[in-house]
Amino acid sequence: MGALWRRFEGWVMRGQRPSAEPIRLTRRRIYILPTGQGYAFATLLFLLFLWSINYSNSMGFAFTFLLAAVALNSMWQAHDNLLGLIVDSSGAEPVFAGQEARFAFRVENPDPRPRYGIALQWRDQPPRHTDLPASGAAVVTLTVLAERRGWLRTGRVRVLTRYPLGLLQAWSWVEFERACLVYPQPRGRRPLPAALSGGAGAGLGDQGFGSEDYAGFRLYAPGDSPRRIAWKAATRGGPLLVKQFTDQVRPELWLDWRLLGIDSVEPRLAQLCQWVLKAEGEGRRYGLLLPGARIAPGRGDAHRRRCLEALALFTYAEDVSHRHETAVEPEGPTKTRAAAG
Amino acid sequence: MRLPWSRRDRPRRAPPPVEPLTASALTWLLAALALAVAPQATELSVWLSVLFAALVGWRGFIVFRNRALPPRWLLLLVATLAGAGVMIDHRTLFGRDAGVALLTAMTACKLLESRGLRDGVVLVFLGYLLVMSNLLYSQDIPLVTYLLAVILVMLTAQVLIHRQHAGLTALAPLRLTGRMVLLAIPVMLILFVLFPRIPGPLWGLPKDAYKGRTGLSEQMAPGSVSELIRSDAVAFRVRFADAVPPSNQRYWRGPVLWHFDGRRWTRPEEPPVKTPIPFTPEGAAVDYAVVLEPSNRNWLFALDLPARLPPRAGMTPSFQLLRDQPVNEVYRYEMRSYPAYRTAEPTAMERSRGLQLPPRANPRARALVAEWRQRDPQPEALVRSALTLFREQPFYYTLNPPELGGEIVDDFLFRTRRGFCEHYASAFVFLMRAGGVPARVVLGYQGGEMNALGGYLMVRQSDAHAWAEVWLEGRGWVRVDPTGAVAPNRVQQGLYAALSDSRLLPFLARHGGDSEWLRQLALGWDILNNSWNEWVLAYGPERQKEFLSGLGFGPADWTGMTVAMLIALGGFGVLYAGWRWRSRLARDPVARAWQRFCARLARRGLARGAAEGPLDFAGRVAAGRPELAAGVWEIARLYAALRYGPVAPPEQVRQLRQLTRRFRA
């Protein structure tokens, strides 16, 4: 039955693509069927009808017919309750796998009459109800369990109403392009790798960009920050020198895919993710090395997000893993440099 | 204790959280249920009415004081006790009264279990059953109007149950349900008139299904008819095709009683036949239609002597009409009678039945008849002697006759001499049989009151009457009404005129006096009731066929009715859809302006496709008519922004209306 129903839905939904725009619920998008209650009510009416025949009760017929007519009319009411609504997706904040993504939908009522009992439902989860004032809007949030890293889409979301009598359900499917980015689940018990460990291929020059601890001078090169020029030394008449700093006490980390060689892909990513969070939490500078991607050490929310995104969207292919040096940089304004060796 | 089949042990998905019943939903629900039970409050046992009221009150208290619902064991205890109470009251859980009592009790118990939406829905469904159960007791206009209002409240409760977010406005659901009921009424009428009716019953009715109807009983003992006189309920109403026969010819024939056991007259088993019993009419026929109130009897009443059969009815050899099912709905039938007639020779069995008497009973009466026979043995002479006895001796016609003891005929004829029609009929038939003249008692109604305004005759229970028929050589069965000898006014003008003390009579059977205007008002009300009965309550399978065939589309069968019903429903649906479309346009200035714009373009051969969006349409128009492009784009963009954008600013709506008004294609 379920499979048949799914096939029917698939047939009904053929040709509908995820939308980037707000969706207006038009006549041809709205379907209507009795609910369980509706079938129960129909049974009740049938029994009342038989009862009226049995007792030759004229008013029994009249009341049975009246209730049937009211139920029939509620079909129109339910249909009207959805008609013309404008639904839009506001997307969802990124989450870690295993958490619940919260997708926000804005439902707008363009008509000068209120709409009651509008609900959004994701798959078999209980619907989330809201009322819409006349010419007003409401935001409905659906929570979806993010099971795997990567892009999470809600797929078809049901906009439904059982108002006014609950006997019939009018519904429409909406599907939006907007997706939620799911980071890998932070998991793993390995400690953070030692700084500069294993010749991670970190460029020596990188040290020069540290700003924590004073390490010495080097010759000025064009492009160096004026704040770092050793003005005192310059006044003494020497060559223009630049102060060099390095995080010697807490040297920068390379969170390297290859350090986790014994694990399969997902546990590796989970561990890397956990390291990213830990490093960020400890205030360390860290870089990320993945087959095919390299993110230079850095710190802060934007950096962390960049790393997590790379982990979330990482695709592993055998051939890529062996030539990660010929890196393709991940999208975005990252300023990573090709590794030297 | 955990039972193996208890739900909690199953490794199932967690049930969805219970959607709670809001306070407003519960308030309306409680009100609706209380209103649904109210008309039966007096019919139900006192404890049950009290229990119901108490539980409604308690549930209300729980809502408003935010208390917890009672524990489950208490609920089970109350339910069990209530079930047992119903069982003790009625000795059964089936049947009409027990069924209604059980429904009421279980609804009350369910109230204590009403937590969530689902419980609310169950209660609403039970509520509809309670509303309908009222119709088992009465279907008169005030009750039906009341129940319609209860349905409205119940529907509102049902709407509120499904509104999880209480708030916006409180009366909006009531307005909504009011509109829904108004719109449902035409559909209901179509279904009521055209839905092919099936004659019931489909299965056995409970024994008490129609308990408590007043009406004639099928036997006669002293006091059995005079009991009825106290009821002014209408037994049936009659509309005559032509002139109304005079009162002394209006004998409405019911059961014919043959057997006398010394006190009680009873009806033998007389199987009805499916053709009218033949007799020789001696005069014009009277045609009329009877609308019979439910009596829970098979009897159909007709003027002496009926000459045709209503559908599904038969006639006994004593000319009584019997329907194959007891009359438990308002039933209308058309009849023809001949007030003047001559019947055939009685069969041997009829003759022996017509002479049956308990041996040796009432010796003084027998002696009196023997004396009369010595003077003149002719049957006609015996009849005259008996009537003379009643007329000339001090016999009285009274509603309060003294108790009769021992040999009741002797006691009546020679001691009390005060009686009602059953006393006179009984004594008269006894005298005739003792004199060797076959005779029998006929029960029925006599007379009836014309409702001049309505043009029909009302026959009330207080018109119940008993008379006699004797068999006379060459004339057949001849009606003799011994009451007429004592109180001629009874037969000519009705009961009121015949009784010296009218205070014993029910209000509506009295005439004149200070409250005459009230009686006139009551007659007006009866006209309404009569139409209600004749056109609404009596609208059963036969009346439906008759009515629909009378419309002139040929004989109505169920296929024709179904087709007509579907056409009518479809027609109404189209009308309704059109009306909704128009009112939507009227409400929505943006849509109206756009409609006007599209209509103007359509007149120039540029019709918008049904699925074409405003911008697509504008693009097409602009391509085809470049000179219009600027204006079309402006309107289409503004319309799209207003239609699909967020809240429409009023000045933009005004702008759109101006643009479309000025637009010329």
Q: Which residues of A touch B200 (CB under 8 A)?
A: 53-56
Return the sign of the alpha-carbon dihedral for residues B291, B295, B298, B304: negative
User: Which stretch of DSSP H or E encloses residue B451?
Assistant: strand B449-451
> Residues of chain B with pLDDT > 70: what percent?
89
Q: What are B519-575's pLDDT values in tens digits? A: 778 778 888 888 888 788 888 887 888 888 888 777 778 888 899 999 999 999 999
Would you call B536 and A58 a contact, using CB atoms and an 8 Å cutoff? yes
Q: Are residues B247 and B137 in the same domain?
A: no
pLDDT at residue A196, rounded to an integer: 55
Q: Say how far apart CA B96 and CA B132 lie, in whole Å.
A: 12
Q: Are residues B301 and B411 in the same domain?
A: yes
> Which of B516, B546, B564 is the last residue in one of the domains?
B516
User: Rounded to the nearest 5 degrees, what angle is found at the Cα of B436, between the Cα atoms of B432 and B442?
Assistant: 40
Number of folded domains that form chain B: 3
Q: Which residue has the higher pLDDT, A207 or A272?
A: A272
- Classify residue B511: in a domain, yes or no: yes
Residue A300 is which amino acid? G
Q: Say how far apart CA A38 and CA B626 lie, in whole Å.
A: 54
Would you call A37 and B121 a contact, using CB atoms and an 8 Å cutoff? yes
Q: Are B10 and B105 in contact (CB under 8 A)?
A: no
Q: Are residues B117 and B251 in the same domain?
A: no
- Phi/psi at B543 (5° precision): -65, -35
Residue B381 pLDDT > 50, yes or no?
yes
Would you call B136 and A111 a contact, using CB atoms and an 8 Å cutoff? no
Tell me, yes or no, if B167 comes closer than 8 A to chain A by beta carbon.
Answer: yes
Q: Are A179 and A144 in contact (CB under 8 A)?
A: no
Q: Are residues B223 and B154 in the same domain?
A: no
Q: Where are the alpha helices (DSSP H) in chain A?
A: 2-12, 36-54, 58-82, 231-235, 265-281, 301-313, 318-322
Rounded alpha-carbon distances, angstroms, from residue B32 to A57, B159, B323: 23, 13, 39
- N- to C-terminal Cα separation, chain A: 60
Q: Are residues B120 and B252 in the same domain?
A: no
The set of residues, in sequence order, having a beta carbon less than 8 Å from that of A189 and lying 6+ positions away, is none
Closest-CA residue in chain A for B193? A62
Q: What are B127-174's pLDDT values in tens digits? A: 999 999 999 888 889 999 999 999 999 999 998 888 755 554 567 788
Q: Are B473 and B249 in contact (CB under 8 A)?
A: no
Q: Say how far apart CA B390 and CA A233 lie, in whole Å.
A: 155
Q: What are B181-206's pLDDT values in tens digits? A: 999 999 999 999 999 888 777 776 66
> Residues of chain A with pLDDT > 90: what percent?
23
Residues in a beta bridge with B306 = B337
Q: B615 is in which domain, residue-wise?
A: 588-662
pLDDT at residue B18, rounded to an integer: 63
Reduce the DSSP state of residue A296 to 3 states and report it: strand
Q: Say how far apart CA B41 and CA B34 lie, in whole Å.
A: 10
User: Annotated catalytic residue: which of B119, B304, B463, B481?
Assistant: B481
Residues 620-649 of B with CB under 8 A from A: 643-644, 646-648
B90 among known catalytic residues: no
User: Annotated catalytic residue: which of B97, B410, B411, B421?
Assistant: B421
B465 among known catalytic residues: yes
Q: Are B433 and B357 in contact (CB under 8 A)?
A: yes
Q: Are residues B482 and B364 in the same domain?
A: yes
- Classify residue B88: in a domain, yes or no: yes
| Residue B247 DSSP label | G
Q: Say how far apart CA B229 and CA B401 lie, in whole Å.
A: 13
Q: Are A110 and B648 in contact (CB under 8 A)?
A: yes
Q: Say how far apart CA B307 and CA B337 lie, in whole Å.
A: 5
- Classify residue B478: in a domain, yes or no: yes
* Mean pLDDT for the stretch of residues A321-328: 42
Q: Say how far apart CA B66 and CA A258 lie, in whole Å.
A: 62
Q: Which residues of B touch A73 (CB under 8 A)?
A: 180, 183-184, 187
Q: What are B269-309's pLDDT values in tens digits? A: 888 999 898 899 998 999 999 999 888 888 999 998 899 99
- Classify residue B574: in a domain, yes or no: no
Residue A115 is which amino acid? R
Q: What are B387-432's pLDDT values in tens digits? A: 999 988 888 888 778 888 888 899 999 988 888 888 999 999 999 9
Q: Are B625 and B606 in contact (CB under 8 A)?
A: yes
Residues 32-61 of A with CB under 8 A from B: 37, 40-41, 44, 48, 50-51, 53-61
Q: Are B200 and A53 in contact (CB under 8 A)?
A: yes
**Which of A116, A123, A128, A160 should be substituted to probe chain B, the one whose Cβ sees the most B Cβ atoms within 10 Å?**
A116
Q: Are residues B158 and B223 in the same domain?
A: no
> Which of B162, B194, B229 is the last residue in one of the domains?
B162
Closest Cα of chain A to B301: distance in Å? 20
| Residue B554 DSSP label | S
Residue A341 pLDDT > 50, yes or no?
no
Interface confidence, given as ipTM, is 0.72
Closest Cα of chain B to A47: distance in Å? 10
When the pLDDT of each residue in chain B is averaged and rounded to a whole number, the result is 84
- Classify residue B541: in a domain, yes or no: no
Q: Say how far apart CA A289 and CA A259 lie, in whole Å.
A: 10
Tell me, yes or no, if A110 comes closer than 8 A to chain B by beta carbon.
Answer: yes
For the ranges A249-253, B316-320, B417-421, the maximum mean pLDDT occurs at B316-320
- HEC profile for B411-448? HHHHHHCEECHHHHHHHHHHHHHHCCCCEEEEEEEECC
- Classify residue B504: in a domain, yes or no: yes
Q: Which residues of B touch A77 (CB under 8 A)?
A: 176, 180
Q: Are residues B278 and B344 in the same domain?
A: yes
Residue A288 is which amino acid? L
> Residues of chain A with pLDDT > 70: what percent?
76
Q: Which residue has the higher pLDDT, A262 or A250?
A: A262
Residues 471-530 of B with CB under 8 A from A: none
Tell me, yes or no, if B151 comes closer than 8 A to chain A by beta carbon.
Answer: yes
Which has the closest alpha carbon to A115: B161, B176, B589? B176
- Classify residue B178: in a domain, yes or no: no
Judged by average pLDDT, the poorest of A54-68, A206-220, B40-54, B296-310 is A206-220
Q: Say how far apart CA A25 and CA A32 lie, in whole Å.
A: 13
Tell me, yes or no, if A65 comes closer than 8 A to chain B by beta carbon.
Answer: yes
> Residues of chain B with pLDDT > 90: what percent?
31
Q: Say how far apart CA A92 and CA A76 lie, in whole Å.
A: 34
Residue with tokens 């004989």: B555
Judged by average pLDDT, the poorest of A192-206, B63-77, B312-326 is A192-206
Q: Which residues of B touch A130 (CB under 8 A)?
A: 165
- The token duo for A58 is 């004229």
- Classify residue B600: in a domain, yes or no: yes
Q: Which residue has the higher pLDDT, B210 or A326?
A: B210
Q: Are residues B284 and B350 in the same domain?
A: yes
Tell me, yes or no, if B436 comes closer than 8 A to chain A by beta carbon.
Answer: no
pLDDT at residue A70, rounded to an integer: 95
The set of residues, in sequence order, having a beta carbon less than 8 Å from that of A175 and lying 6+ positions away, is A16, A17, A18, A19, A153, A154, A155, A156, A157
Which has the closest alpha carbon to B396: B499, B286, B242? B499
> Which of B516, B550, B578 is the last residue in one of the domains?
B516
Q: Are residues B114 and B234 in the same domain?
A: no
Q: Are residues B146 and B72 in the same domain?
A: yes
Q: Are residues B238 and B339 in the same domain?
A: yes
When the pLDDT of each residue in chain A is averaged and rounded to a whole number, the result is 79
**Which of A57, A58, A121 should be substituted to probe chain B, the one whose Cβ sees the most B Cβ atoms within 10 Å?**
A58
Q: Are B123 and A39 in contact (CB under 8 A)?
A: no
